Amino acid sequence: MSKISVASLLALAGVSFVFSGVSDFAQTAKPNTAEMAMVRAVDAENPAAVALLEKIVNINSGTMNLPGVIAVKDVVMPQIEALGFKTHWEPMEAFDKRAGHIVAEHPCPAGSGKCGKRLLLIGHLDTVFEPASSFQKYSIVPGTNGNVATGPGVNDMKGGLVVMLSALKAMKAAGTLDKAEITIVLSGDEERHGEPSSISRKDMIDAAKHSDVAFEFENSSRIEGKDMVRISRRSSLSWRLETSGRTGHSSQIFRDTMGYGAIYELTRILDQFRRELPEHGLTFNVGLVLGGATAKLDEKGLGGGATGKTNVIPPTALALGDLRTLSNDQTERVEAKMRAIVADHLAKTGATIDFQEGYPAMAETDGSRALVKQLNEVNATLGLGAEEIMDPILGGAGDIAFVAPYVPGLVGTGAMGEGAHAEGETVFLDSLPRQAKRMAVLMYRLGKN
């Protein structure tokens, strides 16, 4: 467990689900018969949903644990098939040494586009916790009245898989799924996607081009007792900076013949980044620095080695970092500024910077804001408080950014909890039925328009 008090978990988890039956609906916005049936179905399904969550959390599916990711697929895919979806597994091991993706389609019986909005549901099967992690098992957090569970990926995003399945099962039970057009794409490598993304995310992008709305069932948050939803995600990409300089006796450094050496050039660039780049929504981290007479990364690019002496001017240095932005326009602008800084060399030095492929940004749009309005109309019907839009700076990157150029969408329609990506990650179990009801009713209403 991370260092968080039980009292804090209880406060963040909130009270138990707002209502357990139809009588608790807000009187100002009554649900119709189908919506009432979906609510009952979610409640009836909830014990099985929690059991399913425990089962898949206890299967290690770290991104690079390919058999584990496939094992989660073997649990989830049959449940999707049982709902009437045509499914297939898209293996990716030969391409990028990743497990693969589930692709499932529920066609409109009247023909494509004749069942209201065409929905795309996005999620992932993997977690950041590889088999070497000490964090491997699901359990209930003591002292939380059984409402908070912990485990690897319990929130990000195996809880989201359970929410998605519960919502679809409720639609099936109420007969509303039969008239819906839905595509599901569940990646096996969201936490560490294969490259190039034009191939590793091809199924998702192709599905978006034939959809009208996207929902990403990643984890959301409950902040100061308020449920949150997101309509934007920041980008996430990596950069590599390499500098060079003349080498020789340290007594000659700064002279016209020798210049400043590679490490001073690297330091100049990083300090200019710190002073000149900051703007709203932008972060840029330096994660690794090496320099000296020699500097070399290891094969995985997660470490390396350097040699040198205090009396030798260093001829080589390098730094690795990441870059996160609110929009792809911001990414292009900041990259251009970084290249200009790198190009302004100290005497007798050189430098290059390369940007590696990562996750693009998902910027806010009018279409996504309209979806929040529709979601809060659902909340009014269910007697739930309005969801607020969460600042994208509080969250990471995700798959929905790949489809954002084609469809509006909501981010974080899955489970709610704390500590994603850290040992001690938790989920608020009352968020599972709450989110499933919201999404079942919202998908049903979009299917009528």
Query: What does the mean pLDDT of the chain come to?
Result: 92
What is the structure's pLDDT at 13? 42
Position 302 scores a pLDDT of 81
**123: CB partners within 8 A, 6+ apart:** 157, 160, 161, 164, 184, 186, 187, 190, 216, 217, 218, 414
- Residue 178 and residue 388: Cα distance in Å, rounded? 31
Query: What is the H or E stretch that residue 335 is in?
Result: helix 328-343
Task: Give 132-173 pLDDT, tens digit per residue.
Answer: 999 999 999 999 999 999 999 999 999 999 999 999 999 999
Beta bridge partners of 269: none
Find the largest Cα–Cα distance for the chain.
Answer: 85
Mean pLDDT of 252-265: 97
Residue-level pLDDT at 301: 82
Residue 306 near residue 295 (C-beta atoms within 8 A): yes
Which residues is 362 bridged to in the sheet? 233
Give the pLDDT band (50/70/90) at residue 15: very low
Q: For the chain, give the percent of residues with pLDDT over 70.
A: 94
Q: Across 9-18, 22-31, 88-97, which has the greatest mean pLDDT? A: 88-97
Q: Which fold has domain 6-233+362-448?
A: Aminopeptidase (3.40.630)
Structure tokens at 408: 């509006």
**pLDDT band for position 378 (cuts 50, 70, 90):** very high
Region of 304 on the Ramachandran plot (φ > 0 left; ψ -120 to 50 alpha; else beta)? left
CB 13 within 8 A of CB 143: no
Per-domain boundaries in the chain: 6-233+362-448, 236-359
Read off the pLDDT of residues 345-360 as tens digits, 9 standing for 90 and up.
999 999 999 999 899 9
**6 pLDDT above the threshold of 50:** no
For residue 54 the two structure tokens come to: 């425990």
DSSP structure class, residue 175: T
Residue 127 pLDDT greater than 90, yes or no = yes
Q: What is the pLDDT of residue 25?
A: 39
Question: Which of 374, 349, 344 is closest to 442 using CA atoms?
Answer: 374
Q: What is the DSSP letter of 392?
A: G
Segment 213-231 shows an average pLDDT of 93
Per-residue pLDDT tens digits for 72-102: 999 999 999 999 999 999 999 988 899 999 9
Element of type H or E holding 80:
helix 66-81
Please tell me the least confidently modeled range out of 11-15, 314-318, 365-369, 440-444: 11-15
CA angle 423, 429, 431 (to 5 degrees): 110
What class does CATH assign to 236-359? Answer: alpha beta
233 vs 244: CA distance, rounded Å:
36
